[in-house]
Amino acid sequence: ELEAQHQREPAPRPTARPEPASPAREYQLTLFGFEDHPIIDKLREIDLDGIAPLDAWQQLKSWQEELNAEDAKSSKPR
């Protein structure tokens, strides 16, 4: 009976393959994992208790522009 039921059911659809990561989001692998982006080091060094809100916003804006420039640079055809 199970074999007959199996023959009547449609074949399962193949699973989708994951898309490869975009080059802009790839990071250099080290022996123990991902290498930190330089902006992460800068973020760790910020004195959150001593920075003024406007200065914090300006720093975030600067980092965002830096990341966007890296994305644009890495997505250009070679």
The reported pLDDT for the residue numbered 46 is 93
**Residue 77 CA, distance from chain mean position:** 20
Helix residue ranges, H only, 1-78? 2-8, 38-45, 53-75
Total domain count for the chain? 1
User: Does residue 19 lie in a domain region?
Assistant: no
Percent share of the chain, pLDDT over 70: 67
User: Does residue 3 lie in a domain region?
Assistant: no
User: Does residue 65 lie in a domain region?
Assistant: yes
For tokens 């994992």, the residue is 33
Q: What range defines the domain where residue 62 resides?
A: 36-78
User: Does residue 44 lie in a domain region?
Assistant: yes
- Stretch 37-63: mean pLDDT: 94
Residue 1 identity (one-letter amino acid): E
Residue-averaged pLDDT of the chain: 80
Range of lowest pLDDT (3-17, 32-46, 51-65): 3-17
Inform me whether the pLDDT recorded for 24 exceeds 60. Answer: no
Phi, psi of 61 (to 5 degrees): -60, -45
User: Does residue 42 lie in a domain region?
Assistant: yes
Q: Which residues contact 28 (CB under 8 A, 6 or more apart)?
A: 34, 35
